[in-house]
Amino acid sequence: MSYLYVFLGGGVGSVCRYGLAVWLNDAAVPFPWGTLAANVLSCLVLGCGMALLSKAIIGPDLRLLVLVGFCGGFSTFSTFSNELLTLLRQAQYGVSLLYFTVSMLAGLLAIMLGMRLLG
């Protein structure tokens, strides 16, 4: 049953990430807004979930469905890395540095915010 929870959550997360990318990414703008938004939102959900988990408000099944499955499917380190490499290959060094820095800082802050909101 554990694998089913991860599978279902991951599928929903992947579809949500794709929809966010379609909605936010613009070919004319060399900044991957969709991936950034998905990764930061996933960190926020993960932080909230960790706070709820530490208080035993959610159980192991919901942890697998949301924190492992959904967050795993919704966030995407591989796409982030590929987009960063693409920006570097296009000599978009300022945008690359901005994307890397904002992604890292916003992700950490979002997890901390999520844990504080529900902690």
Angle (deg, nearest 10), helices 77-89 and 33-54: 150
pLDDT of amino acid 118? 87
pLDDT of amino acid 65? 95
Average pLDDT over residues 63-75: 93
pLDDT higher than 80, residue 27: no
Q: How far apart are CA 90 and CA 22, in angstroms?
A: 22
pLDDT higher than 90, residue 56: no
pLDDT higher than 80, residue 110: yes
pLDDT higher than 80, residue 16: yes
CA triple 80-45-24, angle to 5 deg = 45
Average pLDDT over residues 10-28: 92
Q: How far apart are CA 14 and CA 4, in angstroms?
A: 15
